Amino acid sequence: MEAPRDHVAALLCAEVFAARVHGTHRRKGAAEEPHVNRVLEVAEILAAHGAPPEAQIAALLHDTVEDSGDDPQPVALDRLAAEFGERVAAIVAEVADDKSLPKETRKALQIRHANGRSDAAKQIKLADKISNLRAITASPPRGWDHARRLE
């Protein structure tokens, strides 16, 4: 697929791509909403605050590499580069976590490396945190008491 030149077309292509990758993924909250809703919300937060098109597109795609590892055809950064451009793939790479590491280690690395990230990567990480906090407030995972939600 040739990389779209028009911003709206690129956004729609990224939305379809993300929806296909996350088609069977659900959020952990009690409502178990589709995971793709989260990446749509992250991109919407960025668009509402004037983030550049590459950041919005990368926001839609930012979990595709991490969340497709068990898929028959996992998504790789070179595929994102071919379909959405090198800059988008580079932003996704900056935002991605190494899922083989324990959660506490991943979170510590996010904090340690945050200052050196591009503006687009920082924007995605912040919008992602906002989306996660909204979800925890609206539909916390089953068994999460008030103390766990605050944590």
List active site positions: 66-67
Q: Are 68 and 76 in contact (CB under 8 A)?
A: no
DSSP SS3 for 36: helix
**What does the chain come to in residues?**
151
Residue 121 identity (one-letter amino acid) = A
Name the residue among 47, 42, 50 with its Cα closest to residue 22.
42
